[in-house]
């Protein structure tokens, strides 16, 4: 996937894409409607990935003023045709949307302003990087990166080409959450000790599917892209790619990316990455093909001593408690809960009290309209959840996952956690363990996977110390030759 700079494009340094994809391009189109009606400042956006979240992207852009979906992109003929039909019926033919299997074709169009990415995770950084090089603004779904190294390249590409990159962490557009974090950082509230994220939503196993040949409607090379996958099986798509390491990041960096990002956002502004991270968990009860854990307790520590704790719990059971939110443990012993409408339980108090806070600073309009406003203003600073914040939030999860992936099995017991002298971590892990033992009914014969405490250097973005050699391998996925992530110096 080689690209060369085209100096003729002054506005966005459009890059001509020189390499062709394997296989032929599929070009479809919605019914032409007598031409584009919008004024010159109409934002023309491409949507990549049309199956699930891509539908929300389409609705978001269709609900934004003077914005046209110029391209619909999907490597699956059937999904693409269905997507185009939906666009046509929702816009009564007023868009002139082109359907393509290969995003590079959209990036090749000088009249395109932006691309929104709702593909599986292994594509997010590469499309972001190539779009930035082509001078296109990017709305990229969470997690912006599938590994640590590609996330950094995406950050540098955004900086170099000056495009807007907004991360699909829509809580970044919530002025209520921004207000709480501003209050925590300004000293109006007691100092934050632990930012705790929960991703506890019930899910089920995915069974086992035989390896075989991809269906004829799927351009498998374009689906795989940068991910090295030995053999196709039907469990990769749609959606269940989340539970395989080469394409997904488990629920920690799936649903959990939202809560990881909120937790990291609450940490002091001068902190970038944690210096230590570890995780313990397992894939309990489901006898299936999935690789990522359905249960996890993880912790990370920043250079200033502030911590992030995280809890993933997906195994359903009678009495399941849904927890998809954040909590804030403060140094004076207070605990803040609630999202948007916060309550604080102060030490010694019998009940929590309402926390009345000023709204914080965000670009207004919610996640979709704020992005369009930033694109129209050509101002990357207006992004609610910019590339750098996206990187820091995603890396937090990647480091926890790295620890888990290097873990060893120990008996399923409350003593399994190895948190040094961190009593808070032991207390919170014990709560998870009790739910898994008493609620879910995980048998004593089961095993936890306990990851090592990994050290990380926030400057070099490399693991250091014990286990560094193995952990550094996990910082960068292998890529297929045609879809290599460029290095920063190649940008
Ligand atoms: N912010 C939010 O609240 C949410 C965010 N998301 C994020 O959105 C992303 C998509 O998730 P979801 O829709 O659930 O996943 P799906 O698997 O349902 O959809 C992904 C789509 O992308 C297509 N695709 C694969 N490769 C490419 C490519 N190279 N170019 C264009 N399209 C491609 C897939 O093709 P095929 O049909 O062949 O599989 C599929 O249609 C994820 O990263 C997820 O984290 C998801 C839900 C909510
Ligand atoms: O299951 C899901 C629904 O909510 C999440 C919100 O981002 C998705 O990413 C996830 O795949």
Q: Locate the DSSP E strands across 239-294.
A: 276-282
Instruction: Report angle CA 271, 177, 324 to the nearest 5 degrees.
Output: 95
How many angstroms separate the CA atoms of 239 and 9, rounded? 37
How many angstroms separate the CA atoms of 402 and 395, rounded? 10
Question: Residue 411 — φ and ψ, nearest 5°?
Answer: -60, 145
Question: Residue 447 — φ and ψ, nearest 5°?
Answer: -125, 140
Residues with CB under 6 A from ligand 2: 254-255, 258
23 alpha carbon – ligand 2 mean position (Å): 31
Q: Are 392 and 272 in contact (CB under 8 A)?
A: yes
In this structure, the residue with its CA closest to atom 5 of ligand 2 is 255
Our measurement of the distance from residue 476's CA atom to the centroid of its chain's CA atoms, rounded to an integer in Å, reads 16
pLDDT of the residue at 196? 98
Our measurement of the distance from residue 4's CA atom to the centroid of its chain's CA atoms, rounded to an integer in Å, reads 29
Q: Which residue is listed with tokens 């030490």? A: 347
How many angstroms separate the CA atoms of 388 and 375, rounded? 17
**Cβ-based burial of 322 (10 A; exposed 0-12, middle 13-18, buried ≥19):** exposed
Q: Could you say which ligand is closest to the alpha carbon of residue 122?
A: 1
How many angstroms separate the CA atoms of 34 and 137, rounded? 27
Q: What's the sign of the alpha-carbon dihedral 336, 339, 340, 343?
A: negative
How many angstroms separate the CA atoms of 281 and 297, rounded? 6
How many angstroms separate the CA atoms of 208 and 25, rounded? 32
CA neighbor of 396 nearest in space, from 142, 178, 65: 142
How many angstroms separate the CA atoms of 52 and 43, rounded? 23
pLDDT of the residue at 40? 65
254 alpha carbon – ligand 2 mean position (Å): 6
Instruction: Report angle CA 413, 414, 417 to the nearest 5 degrees.
Output: 100
pLDDT of the residue at 13? 33
**Cβ-based burial of 20 (10 A; exposed 0-12, middle 13-18, buried ≥19):** exposed
pLDDT of the residue at 339? 81
How many angstroms separate the CA atoms of 195 and 300, rounded? 10
In this structure, the residue with its CA closest to atom 23 of ligand 1 is 49
pLDDT of the residue at 118? 99
User: Could you tell me the domains of the chain?
Assistant: 7-173+364-386 (3.40.50.720), 178-361+391-484 (3.30.360.10)
pLDDT of the residue at 325? 98
57 lines ligand 1 (CB under 6 A): no
> 69 forms bridges with which residues in the sheet?
45
CA neighbor of 237 nearest in space, from 369, 467, 75, 55: 75
71 lines ligand 1 (CB under 6 A): no
35 alpha carbon – ligand 1 mean position (Å): 30
137 alpha carbon – ligand 2 mean position (Å): 23
Q: Which atom of ligand 1 is nearest to the CA of 367?
A: 1
Q: Are 135 and 9 in contact (CB under 8 A)?
A: yes
Q: Could you say which ligand is closest to the alpha carbon of residue 248?
A: 1
pLDDT of the residue at 15? 25
- Per-position pLDDT tens, the chain of length 491: 434 333 324 333 322 222 233 333 333 443 333 332 344 689 999 999 999 999 999 999 999 999 999 999 999 999 999 999 999 999 987 889 999 999 999 999 999 999 999 999 999 999 999 999 999 999 999 999 999 999 999 999 999 999 999 999 999 999 999 999 999 999 999 999 999 999 999 999 999 999 999 999 999 999 999 999 999 999 999 999 999 999 999 999 999 999 999 999 999 999 999 999 999 999 999 999 999 999 999 999 999 999 999 999 999 999 999 999 999 999 999 999 998 789 999 999 999 999 999 999 999 999 999 999 999 999 999 999 999 999 999 999 999 999 999 999 999 999 998 888 899 999 999 999 999 999 999 999 999 999 999 999 999 999 999 999 999 999 999 999 999 999 999 99
Ligand 1 pocket, mutate which of 25, 47, 60, 118 (most atoms under 8 A from CB): 118
């Amino acid at each position: 996937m080689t690209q060369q700079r085209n100096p003729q494009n002054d506005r966005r340094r459009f890059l001509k894409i020189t390499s062709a994809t394997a296989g032929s391009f599929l070009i479809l189109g919605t019914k032409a409607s007598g031409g584009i009606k919008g004024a010159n400042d109409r934002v023309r956006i491409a949507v990549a990935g049309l199956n699930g979240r891509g539908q929300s992207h389409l609705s978001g852009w269709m609900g934004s003023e003077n914005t046209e979906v110029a391209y619909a992109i999907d490597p699956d003929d059937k999904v693409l045709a269905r997507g185009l039909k939906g666009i046509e019926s929702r816009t009564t033919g007023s868009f002139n949307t082109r359907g393509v299997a290969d995003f590079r074709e959209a990036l090749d169009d000088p009249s395109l302003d932006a691309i929104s990415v709702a593909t599986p995770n292994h594509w997010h950084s590469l499309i972001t990087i190539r779009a930035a090089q082509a001078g296109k603004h990017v709305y990229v779904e969470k997690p912006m990166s599938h590994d640590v190294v590609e996330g950094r390249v995406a950050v540098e590409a955004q900086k170099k080409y000056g495009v807007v990159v907004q991360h699909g962490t829509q809580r970044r557009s919530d002025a209520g959450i921004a207000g709480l974090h501003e209050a925590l950082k300004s000293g109006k509230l007691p100092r934050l000790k632990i930012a705790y994220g929960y991703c506890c939503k019930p899910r089920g196993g995915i069974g086992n599917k035989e390896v075989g040949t991809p269906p004829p409607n799927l351009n498998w090379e374009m689906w795989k892209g940068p991910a090295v996958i030995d053999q196709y099986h039907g469990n990769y798509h749609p959606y269940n790619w989340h539970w395989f390491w080469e394409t997904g990041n488990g629920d920690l960096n799936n649903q959990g990316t939202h809560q990881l990002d909120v937790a990291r956002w609450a940490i002091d502004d001068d902190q970038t990455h944690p210096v230590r991270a570890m995780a313990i968990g397992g894939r309990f009860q489901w006898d299936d093909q999935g690789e990522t854990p359905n249960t996890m307790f993880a912790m990370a520590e920043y250079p200033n001593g502030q911590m992030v704790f995280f809890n993933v719990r997906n195994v359903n059971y009678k009495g399941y408690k849904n927890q998809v939110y954040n909590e804030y443990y403060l140094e004076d012993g207070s605990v803040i809960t609630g999202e948007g409408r916060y309550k604080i339980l102060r030490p010694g108090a019998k009940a929590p009290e309402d926390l009345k806070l000023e709204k914080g600073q965000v670009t207004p309009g919610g996640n979709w309209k704020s992005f369009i406003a930033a694109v129209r203003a050509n101002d990357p600073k207006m992004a609610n959840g910019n590339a750098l914040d996206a990187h820091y939030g995603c890396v937090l999860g990647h480091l926890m996952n790295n620890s888990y992936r290097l873990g060893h099995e120990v008996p399923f017991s409350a003593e399994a956690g190895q948190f040094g002298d961190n009593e808070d971590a032991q207390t919170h892990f014990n709560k998870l363990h009790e739910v898994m033992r008493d609620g879910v009914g995980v048998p004593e014969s089961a095993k936890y996977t306990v990851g090592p405490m990994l050290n990380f250097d926030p400057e070099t973005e490399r693991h250091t110390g014990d286990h560094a050699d193995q952990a550094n391998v996990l910082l960068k996925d292998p890529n297929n030759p045609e879809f290599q992530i460029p290095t920063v110096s190649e940008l």
